[in-house]
Amino acid sequence: MTTVQERETIAIQFAEKMNEDELLNCMRCGFCLPHCPTYIESGLKESHSPRGRIALMKAVADGVIEPDRDVERSLSLCLGCRACEPVCPSGVKYGHLLEEARDIIHQNKKHSFPVKTIRKAVFSGLFPHQERMQTMTSLLGFYQKSGLQYMARKTGVLNMLPDNLAAMEKVLPKVPKKAEMKNRPTELPAIGTPLKKVAFFSGCLMDTMFLETNKATLKLLQLAGCEILIPKSQACCGALHGHSGEKAGAKQLAKRNIEAFETEEVDYIITNAGGCGAFLIDYDHLLQDEPEWHDRAISFKNKLKDISQILVDLRFQEKVRLKLPAQTVTFQDSCHLRNVMNTSSAPRILLQSIEGIDFREMKDADRCCGSAGIYNIVESEMSMNILDSKMEHTKSTQADIVVTANPGCLLQMQLGIERENLGECTKAVHIADLLIKAVAL
């Protein structure tokens, strides 16, 4: 809840900071509506649609309504999947509007003490510090390996957690050893003729909890003919901050990353997490008010590519034989990879090149799975409704493997599989992990 005074400040800042041109650019045609997961899941509620949310932002900026609890509710229920952007004929940058609005609300709102403590710990204490991410992940590893996990599951302690948190505990991957997370290479040679020089964006979660996926990604890049640099001073991309109304924190991380990557002369900067990639590619927008950074952000973003895209560009799938035992595979788009990085055909081309695989497109593969950063924890009811619809479509493909291209989607799809009791026959994997298995070495 916000106080009267907080609402006043929020309203003033909406009028000052929200991009009026962008708000006016929405001409309310409604072409976004059928693509918005929360509009659909809420039973076609206009207040949970992009058109409705933009109207609300504009109404607050124009002083027509107060930023009351319902306005905040409408904005916080948005997944931020940005599926409305590629279908918007007018080209409204909805994601930018949403981020600005959330930033204004969160910066002016007094959070309750526990919420404030958690936000501070996560946004300032944990994610910006890779060594702490490693420690945190190791603690999880201790939990998994020490018998604590076994005990916790056995004794039913986990039943005290909300349903989806308990299920989420189950789907976390087995984490690597701390020493392994610490001793990461800083450069790797191409295997075969070097074709391109690339820098790899490791990502905070990807380089800890999903270290295996990062290893697979690097190997694929080497096999595709890339010399790889992995700048040590890089940091978390800042997406979690940006999407949660912590813009200042996101900017600091953005600057660290721009500095870390501009010292090296490379052709591309490669990511393997759609969520990170989409945030990195928006650095120029994030830093638009800082002239000394804006151009540097543009040359940074121009080099960004997702792993699947560079593999296809270098015709990896034609040069390396890819083969797996017979199985059915489907692909769940990462919203940010598709809607922001504009990459959707490359992963499909790669998967269809694997011999032995029966690739079946699921209905609405381009619709969000409901993971959306920490959305599945803070908005679990909506998230689980969206996931249930997603699992219906997944099941009708009868896939053995659900391939994803982002860690959040991966965990969410695995969670969906657990909730449907399909763990025996189906699993979710990152595309890099599947491809490396398919490489006949």
Partner 1 sequence: MLTKQVKQLLLAIVGQENYDDSKVECLVHSYDATPGFQALPDAVIKPGSTAEVAAIVKVCNEYNVPIVPRGSGTNLSGGTCPTEGGIVLLFNRMNSLLEIDEENLTTTVQPGLITLDLISAVEEKGLFYPPDPSSMKISTIGGNINENSGGLRGLKYGVTRDYVIGLEVVLPNGDIIRTGGKLAKDVAGYDLTKLFVGSEGTLGIVTEATLKLIPMPETTKTMLALYQDLDAAAQSVAKIISNKIIPVTLEFLDRPTLIVVEDFAKIGLPTNVEAVLLIEQDGPPEVVERDMKRMADICLEEKAVSVEIAETESDAVALKTARRTALSALARLKPTTILEDATVPRSEIAKMVRAINEIADKHNVDICTFGHAGDGNLHPTCITDARDHEEMERVELAFADIFAAAIDLGGTITGEHGVGAMKAPYLEWKLKKEGIDAMRAIKQAFDPNNIMNPGKVFAKETRKRVVVSS
User: Which positions touch partner 1 (CB under 8 A)?
Assistant: 21, 24-31, 33-34, 43-44, 46-47, 49, 52, 55-56, 59, 64-66, 68, 70-71, 73-74, 88-91
| Shortest CB 63 distance to partner 1, Å | 12
Give 233 or 396: the residue with its C-beta nearer to partner 1: 396
Give 52 or 347: the residue with its C-beta nearer to partner 1: 52
| Shortest CB 42 distance to partner 1, Å | 10
User: What is the C-alpha separation between 183 and 186, in angstroms, rounded?
Assistant: 9
Give 218 or 382: the residue with its C-beta nearer to partner 1: 382
The total number of residues shown for the chain amounts to 441
User: What is the C-alpha separation between 408 and 387, in angstroms, rounded?
Assistant: 13
285: nearest Cα among 267, 300, 269, 265: 300
- Residue 53 near residue 74, CB atoms below 8 Å: yes
| Shortest CB 301 distance to partner 1, Å | 20
348: nearest Cα among 311, 383, 379: 311
| Shortest CB 131 distance to partner 1, Å | 44
| Shortest CB 91 distance to partner 1, Å | 5
User: What is the C-alpha separation between 200 and 216, in angstroms, rounded?
Assistant: 12
- Residue 216 near residue 435, CB atoms below 8 Å: yes
Q: Please count the helices (runs of H) and the strands (runs of E) in the chain.
A: 25, 9
Residue for token pair 């409705």: 52
| Shortest CB 30 distance to partner 1, Å | 5
Give 53 or 296: the residue with its C-beta nearer to partner 1: 53
Give 31 or 142: the residue with its C-beta nearer to partner 1: 31
User: What is the C-alpha separation between 412 and 16, in angstroms, rounded?
Assistant: 38
Give 320 or 346: the residue with its C-beta nearer to partner 1: 346
Positive or negative: CA dihedral 290, 286, 342, 408: positive
- Residue 356 near residue 323, CB atoms below 8 Å: yes
